Structures are given as C-alpha cells and as structure tokens.
C-alpha cells in the first residue's frame, strides 16, 4: 500500500525563542511525508523551482520517498518566513511569503500515481485540491487539510471538497471557523454533517479529537518541554494518522485510536527541533518508546 500527498514543498526561514534558521526544507507535503513514511510508501506531489537545493532532493530520496511527482518548474521555490513568540508558541506569525512556482504550476503525476487509492490533500488552494482528486479517479481513501485563508476566501470550494473526502483533519481555529461553532464537539459534528465520514480536530498542545458515526476519541498531546519549532506539527500529525491507516487497511476503532495516537507522537517529535531535523533522525524505537510512555500517561 502507498499514499500520495499533494502539498507544498518550501524553503522555510523560521525564528523561534530557540534561534533562527534560514532556508530549511519544509512545506506541508515534506512534513507529512516524514511521518507517513514510517508506515507506508509516500509519493510526494508538489512543485519546486530551479533554486531548490539538490541536497534536499537527496535527503528526501534517502528517506525512500517517491519523488516522481515532485515537479521542478522555471521560477523560484515557495518560501515562507515565520516567527513564533515565547508567549505563544502555538501561533505562527507569517513575516513573508513568496509563492514562486506555487502560483503558476501544478505537479505532474505519473501513470502509476494516477491509479493510487490513498490520497492526502495537504493544505493547498481548494480548487487545486479538487483538480488533483479528479485526476486520481481511482482514489478510495482521501484525507483533507485546509487553512484559515481558504476558509475565509473560498469557503464554498472547501465545503464542496468536504463532501468528497473520507477524513478531514483541521485545527481548532479552522474547525470553529468552518462550523461557526465555539464548542469543539459541536464543531466536529457540524463538520461531519458536511460530508466526511471522519473528523479530526487538532488542538495543538492540547491534543486531538476524533469524531465519526461510531467512534469518539479524545487524546491529550504528548507533553514536550523543549518546544523548539512547531512548524509542520499539524502536517506531521496528519502523516502519522494517514500513514497508519494506509498501512492497516482497516478502519475499526482500535486502528483509528492508534492512528490518532501515532499522529500525536510524531508531531511531538517534530516540535523538538527546527524543520525536519528531529523527524529526519527518528528511529522506530524512539516512536515505540514514546508511544508506550504516552499510553502510561493516559492509563487510569
């Protein structure tokens, strides 16, 4: 089994209380791939510019990520510059965005990829997410993420997409915004009623909530004291969830609970260093150990 993810591949410049890093490999698809990769073969669909460093290509290849649909175009790679303040490490302040090739081009899928069954639409313009989903006519299990920008500017397209996906994974603010509900359970039920069979609401340092017709599950976050850089935590979470579901090929309660747990564990590693630095050196044993500790924290 394998999964194809549509998302951004970016060069991130990030300032946090722990320091400043420039032109790190980032983007929603890259973060997603780092965790999904632990469970299943990941095909990364995204666009990069002429300036995209060869070392990043090598890095992704060494992680065994399929790059057939990582499409290089004339122009510059998408760049994001952000900052996190000490008072609120949960909130990214965008200092600058240069869309580059993201504004004008779209990844080209191989024949093999056009027949894939598992798809994740990471944060991207909703019309392009829909186009991607149409191209892959064979898609059977589809996950969706979005962001406040699209909910503000293209809410109809986002809602149209919600009818076509199996699982939506959004954060607390997006869930409240999309549903108009301040209560998270009410927001989850509202999103569920818009179409998807499963709803996950990410609550950052407070964990995540799963809601479907047959299962409600709430898990706190794994406590991390040394939060260095939260960039990509939500995408890493989604990669853990979607990767584990793809590997399991089942959607029973115990698989879904564990998928949620893996999402939380992978994102807890992600925030412990800049960019992909921590997840890049993550070993199966690290994940297993932290998962065991997490279960221990929750036992009662």
| 94 or 183: CB nearest a copy of itself | 183
Cβ atoms < 10 Å from Cβ of 168: 28
| Closest to 66 measured CA to CA, from 92, 36, 93, 87 | 36
Asked if 292 is part of the footprint of a copy of itself (rule: CB under 8 A), the reply reads no
Stretch that binds a copy of itself, among 146-154, 159-167, 254-262, 274-282 (CB under 8 A): 254-262
Per rule CB under 8 A, is residue 250 in the interface with a copy of itself? no
Residue identified by tokens 């894939």 is 116
Nearer to a copy of itself, 205 or 286 (CB): 205
Closer Cβ to a copy of itself, 89 or 101, answer by number: 89
Q: Which is nearer to a copy of itself, 15 or 189 (CB)?
A: 189
The CA distance from 170 to 181, in Å, is 14
With CB under 8 A as the contact rule, which of the stretches 29-37, 75-83, 209-217, 239-247 interacts with a copy of itself? Answer: 209-217
Q: Does 86 bind a copy of itself (CB under 8 A)?
A: yes
Tell whether residue 170 is a contact of a copy of itself (CB under 8 A): no
Minimal distance, residue 245 CB to a copy of itself, in Å: 14
Tokens 């279960």 belong to residue: 295
> Of these, 223, 281, 288, 289, which contacts a copy of itself (CB under 8 A)?
223
| Smallest gap from residue 224 Cβ to a copy of itself (A) | 7
- Distance, CA of 183 to CA of 176 (rounded, Å): 8
CA dist 139 and 22 (Å) reads 37
Smallest distance from a copy of itself to CB 40, Å:
20
Smallest distance from the beta carbon of 108 to a copy of itself, in angstroms? Answer: 39
Judged by CB under 8 A, the residue of 128, 218, 251, 287 near a copy of itself is 218
Instruction: Pick one of 83, 98, 205, 286: the residue that binds a copy of itself (CB under 8 A).
Output: 205
- Note whether 184 binds a copy of itself by CB under 8 A: yes
- Find the shortest distance in angstroms from Cβ 264 to a copy of itself: 10
Using the rule CB under 8 A, give the single segment among 68-76, 156-164, 180-188, 234-242 that binds a copy of itself: 180-188
Residue selected from 258, 272, 273, 286 as contacting a copy of itself according to rule CB under 8 A: 258
- Positions in the binding site for a copy of itself (CB under 8 A): 86-89, 182-186, 189, 203, 205-207, 209, 216-221, 223-225, 227, 254, 257-258, 260-261, 295, 297-300
């Amino acid at each position: 089994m394998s999964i194809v993810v549509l998302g951004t591949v970016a060069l991130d410049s990030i300032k946090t209380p722990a320091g400043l890093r420039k032109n790190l490999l980032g983007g929603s698809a890259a973060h997603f791939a780092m965790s999904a990769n632990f469970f299943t073969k990941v095909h990364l669909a995204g666009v990069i510019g002429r300036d995209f460093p060869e070392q990043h290509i090598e890095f992704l290849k060494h992680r065994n990520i399929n790059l057939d649909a990582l499409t290089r175009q004339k122009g510059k790679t998408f760049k994001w510059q952000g900052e996190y303040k000490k008072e609120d490490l949960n909130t990214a302040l965008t200092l600058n965005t240069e869309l580059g090739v993201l504004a004008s081009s779209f990844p080209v899928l191989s024949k093999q990829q056009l027949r894939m069954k598992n798809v994740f639409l990471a944060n991207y313009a909703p019309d392009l997410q829909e186009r991607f989903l149409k191209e892959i006519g064979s898609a059977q299990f589809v996950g969706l993420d979005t962001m406040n920008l699209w909910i503000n500017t293209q809410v109809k397209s986002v809602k149209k997409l919600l009818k076509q996906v199996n699982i939506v994974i959004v954060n607390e603010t997006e869930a409240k915004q999309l549903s108009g509900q301040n209560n998270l359970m009410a927001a989850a039920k509202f999103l569920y009623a818009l179409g998807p069979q499963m709803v996950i609401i990410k609550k950052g340092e407070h964990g995540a909530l799963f809601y479907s017709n047959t299962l409600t599950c709430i898990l706190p976050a794994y406590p991390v004291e040394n939060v260095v850089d939260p960039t990509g935590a939500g995408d890493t979470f989604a990669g853990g969830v979607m990767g584990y579901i793809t590997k399991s090929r089942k959607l029973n309660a115990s698989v879904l609970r564990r998928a949620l747990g893996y999402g939380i564990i992978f994102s807890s590693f992600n925030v412990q260093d800049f960019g992909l630095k921590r997840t890049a050196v993550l070993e199966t044993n690290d994940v297993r150990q932290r998962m065991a500790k997490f279960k221990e924290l929750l036992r009662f």
